[in-house]
Amino acid sequence: MAVRDLDFFYGRVQALHNISLEIPERIVMAFIGPSGCGKSTFLRTLNRMNDVIPGTRVGGQVLIDDHDIYASGTDVVELRRRVGMVFQKSNPFPKSIFDNVAYGLRINKVTSSSSELAGRVEQALKDAALWSEVKDRLKTSALSLSGGQQQRLCIARALAIRPEVLLMDEPASALDPIATSKIEELIFDLKKQYTIVIVTHNMQQAARVSDTTAFFLLGKLIEVNSTEKMFTAPNEKLTEDYITGRFG
Amino acid sequence: MDTHRHLDDELSSLRDRVLLLGGEAEQALERAMYSLSERDTDVARQVLDHDDQIDHLEVEIDRQCIDIIALRQPAARDLRFVISVAKMAPVLERIADHACNIARAAIDLNNEPELKSLLDVSRMSEHALKMLRGALDSFTSNDAITAREIIKSDSEINDLYNHTFHRLIELMVTEPATATRDARLLFVAKHLERIGDYVTDICELTVYMAEAAFIKHTN
């Protein structure tokens, strides 16, 4: 995935300025920066989730396999199948655990038989490290799960349709340390198969889970570097000031 | 922001402590060499008596580094500073240990007839002290350029040591009666040579702190 000269506007307000970034396959990239810096806005440009906000406008390109996802004629449903998303607050549907994971598969008519559907659901729950906890109660309501389990269910729902890229917008910010740890372990395992882009306010989390970190400030991309370099010797003074908490 | 001011205060306190330790090591070496050159056994004993306080200071610095890492999770330049201090404190304590060994040698030598000359040992100690002061100054001012120059100057101590070594061996052969005293002086020279190496370690940590560059074992 590659981003070229991306600008983004909410009405007349420019929220992102001329951002260019390469996101290599099968890595975890973390976006960090202070509130309002544009990192979540930028994340949502990667699968056109901002399209649903009235008055927004995008310039530049987001390329997947050399195809600009903002080119006319792009199938946005197919795009979001390839680039899945998990949000800050878990948002399971008021349905059973099974039906939550099966939802995307059914509406996209991905599977041809109920046994194939069950197999895909099981695999997605296993990939999301939730199977062992829910396998005996797949028909119970997803709303009966704990917060951490609900978030992993949402990850399973995103994984069920086998995306290439998984976008995560502060996926553990509402979770306790144990549930957070499970999500982080999951991210570590998932990068073997998926490209993961995660927005986080928790810099230690970015340091723990990501291979590459991008720092945003006032809608601009200030620095992209290996996470190790970013947290020990960043190139930019602005990054250093932010990382060391001497900002603002 | 309060938390960052607290971190700054803690880093500042850590800097003060490690400089205090550096000053203690420097003073221990200076006094140990004084006790040798002036045959002052009382001063040598004072150096030995004071060593416990230096050890205690090193442990305090260790604890403070661990607390800052565990509780403040420093990053970037702050992390490099804390790591450098954590690695520097035992080096300074070792320098003070070598000063104690020199003080012990001085006590022994002061019980024997006076040596005609300390040969180049006095010059070695002057150079070691100059290196140590420079290393502590370059650490304080985050000055990697000076730190690199000090590293280069370690070769002068090594040269002086080699020269002293050969002279003392010659003396042991030609004047066997004073061989014990010569051997003790040789140990003093070796301690000074090792102090030069430890000062080099301090300077390498300053370069890491200032530039995030690992220059250890890179000649």
Helices B121-140, B2-37: crossing angle, 10 deg rounding: 170
A178 CB within 8 Å of a chain B CB: no
Report the distance separating Cα A55 and Cα A160, nearest Å.
32
Q: How far is B68 from chain A (nearest CA, A)?
A: 13
Amino acid at B35: S
Which residue of chain A has the CA closest to B73? Answer: A204
As a whole number, the mean pLDDT across chain B is: 94
Superfamily of domain B2-211: Phosphate transport system protein phou homolog 2; domain 2 (1.20.58.220)
**DSSP letter string over A63-110?**
EETTEETTSTT--HHHHHHHEEEE-SS----SSBHHHHHHHHHHHTT-
**Which chain B residues have a beta carbon less than 8 Å from that of A204?**
73
Chain B contact for A231, CB < 8 A? Answer: yes
Q: In Å, how far is A58's CA from the nearest CA of chain B? A: 34
Burial of A45 (0-12, 13-18, 19+ CB in 10 A): buried
Among chain A residues, CA nearest to B212: A233
Compare all CA atoms of chain A with the CA of B214 and give the residue at the minimum distance.
A233
Q: Which residues of B touch A243 (CB under 8 A)?
A: 75-76
Task: Return the pLDDT at B1.
Answer: 46
Q: Do B76 and A231 touch (CB under 8 A)?
A: yes
Contact list, A207 vs chain B (CB under 8 Å): 75
> Which tens digits make up the pLDDT trace of B184-203?
999 999 999 999 999 999 99
The alpha-carbon gap from A243 to the nearest alpha carbon of chain B, in Å, equals: 6
**By the CB < 8 Å criterion, does A240 face chain B?**
yes
CA atoms within 13 A on the CB side of A35: 0
Q: Which fold has domain A2-243?
A: Rossmann fold (3.40.50)
Q: Is A164 on the interface with B (CB under 8 A)?
A: no
pLDDT per residue of chain A (248 residues) written in tens, 0 to 9: 999 999 999 999 999 999 999 999 999 999 999 999 999 999 999 999 999 899 999 999 999 999 999 999 999 999 999 999 999 888 899 999 999 999 989 988 888 899 999 999 999 999 998 999 999 999 999 999 999 999 999 999 999 999 999 999 999 988 888 889 989 999 999 999 999 999 999 999 999 999 999 999 999 999 999 999 999 999 999 999 999 988 75
Q: Which residues of B fall below an 8 Å CB-CB distance to A?
A: 1, 3-4, 7, 73-80, 212
Where exactly are the structural domains of chain A? 2-243
Q: What does pTM read for this prediction?
A: 0.85
For residue A16, the cross-strand partners are: A8
Residues B51-68, mean pLDDT to the nearest whole number: 97
Q: Is the pLDDT of residue B79 over 60?
A: yes
Span B12-34, pLDDT tens digits:
999 999 999 999 999 999 999 99
Q: Side by side, which strands form the sheet with A83-86?
A: A83-86, A165-169, A195-199, A28-32, A212-217, A220-226
Cα distance between residue A168 and residue A233, in whole Å: 26
Is the distance from CB of B130 to CB of B30 less than 8 angstroms?
no
